[in-house]
A = this chain, B = another copy of it.
């Protein structure tokens, strides 16, 4: 049975209230990567927990201990667990989301205050940090709970929740917690879970809903070149000493070509090329090169044909140079020779690549290339974090339910996509619980997660709420049909 009309009507009727609640969440600057905002992440956890309890969900805030960030010892934000429903005749779905956000400052170039949800009536969009990544989807689930509770309607499935507050900072502590919880002899909060649903990614474009069955992994590196005991004056030392920046820039220039080819021997070569049949999958997606151009805001795609551009994101590894720590980064014209500089770059991985088989290639290559420079400076290469890629079986009943829900709400079939980004918890759940994981995105491809002017379209928030609820009803319908 599809979602009942009273649920759908309730969502439409409560649109303004739902937006207002999302605004309250966005106003809490729960930036997990900034020690100054750690209290806000805790505040956000409490707000979320109180919302869950309000609609009859039993909750538990799980402490994860402490960690060191920027030289300070800080308490990790709790994982908020929830459970509602224990009907053996129903499926049990575990929902994952995260309530922390990326850093954001007006001075980064935002047109709106990032920690205030601004509704732009011209475009019918909701601007604010976390609007789409990932507070919008989280509060989509809260809206579903709200609707069923207010209508005094039983949920069509048993629900379990696992919401974390460190996703934007490497999900510290989460994997260990999940593995421990799964292993528990009794009373595990993940007992009886039949499938996992995660809403933390995006449609491929701005038109067509998507179901996502693959993610790239990641391996993040830093390469540090050090030499002088302190920063030097370029007038005094220029052309007398080996400069760390010269060495670092030389190394970073040998990692990736302007056309995106990874220059580290063996890395691109691990991935077999797409055959005709696989290429057709990408040709069929509702997608045009212009979609990338619109979401990037410029005509800068590496090539001109749709399938190649899509494969670059979905089935190829990529290497991005993020920046340099320790060099001069301000405005103006400082004539410094920085003493110690750290280049940051990461590689997005696809099967059969893993951090374990890629890291040694990267590290060996950097040391070899550094030796060729014949510099007297020192090099150090570190892997900062990593995660394996993931590809799921999209013929599973959970995907089928999401497919029917999408057709019901959006009146069109979804695109089946693989994502270029990494959501490491996906793989953790898939491996630890041994169940199917569905990625069911709420937002559009141009939402600008991690960027300035992050937004969520009002339509995606409201229809998305209907989609999440409809998915649960379709899971139930699918179960009964069998």
Smallest CB–CB gap between A36 and chain B, Å?
A: 13
A287 to chain B, nearest CB (A): 11
Contacts of A274 in B (CB 8 A): none
A215-241 CB mask vs B (1 if < 8 Å, else 0) is 010101010000111111111111111
Contact assessment for A309 and B240 in the assembled complex, using a CB-CB cutoff below 8 Å: yes
Contact with B along A325-349 (1 / 0, CB 8 A): 1111111111111100000101010
Say how far A215's CB is from chain B's closest CB, in angstroms: 8
Contact of A297 among B228, B337, B445, B453 (CB under 8 A): B228
A322 to B346, Cβ gap below 8 A?
Answer: no
Cβ of A81 to closest chain B Cβ, rounded Å: 27
Asked if A319 is at the interface of the complex by the 8 Å CB criterion, the answer is yes
Complex CA distance for A414 and B374, rounded to whole angstroms: 36
**Chain B residues whose C-beta falls within 8 Å of the C-beta of A318 in the assembled complex:** 234, 238-239
Take A249-B321, A420-B237 as given contacts and tell me if A230 and B316 are in contact as well, using a CB distance cutoff of 8 Å.
no
CB within 8 Å of B: which of A102-140? Answer: 108-109
Interchain CA distance A72-B296 in the complex, whole Å: 31
Stretch at the interface among A182-190, A253-261, A465-473: A253-261
B253 and A249: CB pair below 8 A?
A: yes
Residue from the set A252, A258, A451 with the largest chain B CB neighbour count within 10 Å: A258
A412-435 Cβ-contact flags toward B at 8 Å (1 or 0) = 000000011110000000000000
CB distance from A407 to the nearest CB of B (A): 26
Q: CB of A292 within 8 A of chain B?
A: yes
Binds B, one of A51-59, A93-101, A298-306: A298-306
- List of B residues within 8 angstroms of A325 by Cβ: 329-331
User: In the bound complex, do residue A338 and residue B322 qualify as a contact, i.e. CB atoms below 8 Å apart?
Assistant: yes
Residues from chain B with a CB closer than 8 A to the CB of A299 are: 376
A43 an interface residue at 8 Å Cβ cutoff?
no
Chain A 350-409 residues near chain B, CB threshold 8 A: 373-377, 384-385
Q: Which residue of B lies closest to A231 (CB)?
A: B451
Q: Is the CB of A302 within 8 A of B385?
A: no
16 A–B contacts, CB within 8 A, in A order: A202-B236, A218-B335, A227-B300, A230-B453, A234-B322, A237-B292, A238-B320, A239-B317, A243-B321, A245-B323, A249-B253, A300-B377, A322-B328, A323-B324, A328-B344, A329-B329
